Amino acid sequence: MTITNDIKYVGVNDHKIDLFEGQFDVPLGMAYNSYVILDDKIAVLDSVDKNFKGEWLNNISAVLGKKQPDYLIVHHMEGDHSANISAFMEKYPKATVVGSSGAFNMMKNYFGTSYDDRRIVVKTGDVLHLGKHNLTFVSTPMVHWPEVIMSYDSTDKVLFSADAFGKFGANDTEDPEGWDCEARRYYFGIVGKYGVQVQKALNDLKPFDIKTICSLHGPVLTGDLSHYLEQYNTWSSYGVETEGVFIAYSSVYGHTKQAALFLEEELKKLGCPKVSIADLAREDMYECVEDAFRYGKLVIATTTYNGDIFPVAKHFVERLLARGYQKRNIGIIENGSWAPQVVNVIKKMFDNSKEINFYSTCVKIVGAMNQTNKDELNSLAKELIAK
């Protein structure tokens, strides 16, 4: 695949993977992107997952023909991109590896060498001259590991963005939902904790006139890039992407589910612009996490369990907390047959979170939903609509 006259795609698609990074379901597979810049000096940009060593090296050979690469540029050391660095360096003994100082420290740990005699260490502002193309480096720590660096080719106006702007899904499989859904699930699943660092990276990239974004995952982004940049700005500032309510529930015998569905109907009757609802035990957990960040208002409906809250609800809240969940209004529907604990537990879990407000109506079900609970749900729906 040709990105520009001089920039070629040499990445791979993974359809055998079951869980990306050992935890994310990827029904559309995964892409590990890698690129080659053909110029007076030839640069290969990043490696791919260990299972694709042969395919990747063949892709590079197919683009290079009899030419030899001068550089392997390492933007990120996570295994899905770095696994074949040593294989590349063995195959091309005259090549120099280019990366941040942090990347070389990691190489020593992964490969037993930091390529001291075959390396160029780069940091923000450094430029690698390839001929017609000049790559300017920008350190972007924690997007998504500390050693990450991006690079910008001022000739073709291409940003090589490491994990940023990536998405789940192989590149040879059409995503019926377009870029946003799996890019959002990827962002909040993997990078969500590092909003401050992503904001800094976006700011540091402002001087560049970017026409194309080449991420390490997902499609090459071209055309009007403002949508992707705006989404990243919203997500990393913990802003509200979509006005509406996300109801996340767990239910043992169906009573809590019934209350969640009742609230959904009340909200719709009151004209709520969007209501999303998910069973935490059955929906993909990271679909739930992304929806919690997507909407401005969250309702958690769950049961008391061993003096705590139901395990999947606990896991859900823990995942939000791990990603710095903030700037949101939360409603609670609690159920408990003899000693309801949900309100206490959830409020305590968010004790140290920033700008979390709880609605004053707490729906307290003791077993099955009754008329009082319906009235409470109606009040909660009105509060959710009001603010």
CA separation, residue 344 to residues 29, 230, 301, 303 (Å): 40, 37, 13, 12
Dihedral of alpha carbons 265, 271, 276, 280, sign: negative
Return left, alpha or beta for 375; rule: phi > 0 is left, psi -120 to 50 is alpha, else beta. alpha
Half-sphere exposure of 348 (CA within 13 A, CB side): 8
We find the least distance from the C-beta atom of residue 82 to ligand FEO, in angstroms, to be 9
CB of 27 to ligand FEO, least distance (A): 18
- Nearest to ligand FEO of 42, 220 (CB atom): 220
Residues 6+ apart with CB under 8 A from 176: none
> Which C-beta is closer to ligand FEO: that of 53 or that of 314?
53
> Rounded CA gap, 329 and 321, in Å?
14
- Choose between 8 and 217: whose C-beta lies nearer to ligand FEO: 217
**Shortest gap between Cβ of 20 and ligand FEO (angstroms)?**
9
Rounded least distance, CB 182 to ligand FEO, Å: 14
Sign of the four-CA dihedral 282, 284, 286, 287 = negative
Q: What are phi and psi of 36, to 5 degrees?
A: -125, 135
Q: Rounded to the nearest whole angstrom, what is the least distance from the CB of residue 264 to ligand FEO in the complex?
A: 36
Q: Are 303 and 314 in contact (CB under 8 A)?
A: no
Instruction: Give the helix/strand (H/E) hosting 8.
Output: strand 7-9
Give residue number: closest CB to ligand FEO. 78
Residue 142 in tokens: 């924690």
- Please identify, using beta-carbon distances, which residue of 216 and 298 lies nearer to ligand FEO: 216
CB of 73 to ligand FEO, least distance (A): 15
* In contact, 356 and 326? CB cutoff 8 Å: yes
Distance in Å, CB of 323 to ligand FEO, minimum: 15
Comparison of 103 and 216: residue with beta carbon closer to ligand FEO: 216
When the beta carbons of 197 and 304 are compared against ligand FEO, the nearer one is 197
For residue 31, the one-letter residue type is A
DSSP classification of residue 52: G
DSSP 297: E
* Interacting residues with ligand FEO (CB under 6 A): 76, 78, 80-81, 144-145, 163, 216-217
The burial class, CB within 10 Å (0-12 / 13-18 / 19+), for 379 is middle
Round to whole Å and give the CA distance between 333 and 323.
Answer: 23
Distance of CA 172 to the CA centre of its chain: 20
Please state the closest distance from residue 2 (CB atom) to ligand FEO, in A: 23
Complex with ligand FEO: residue 152 or 194, whichever CB lies closer: 194
- In the complex, minimum distance from the CB of residue 358 to ligand FEO, in angstroms, rounded to a whole number: 34
Is the torsion defined by CA of 121, 124, 127, 130 positive or negative?
A: positive
- Minimum gap (Å) between residue 186 Cβ and ligand FEO: 9
Say if strands 275-279 and 295-305 run parallel, antiparallel, or are unpaired.
unpaired
Choose between 26 and 300: whose C-beta lies nearer to ligand FEO: 26
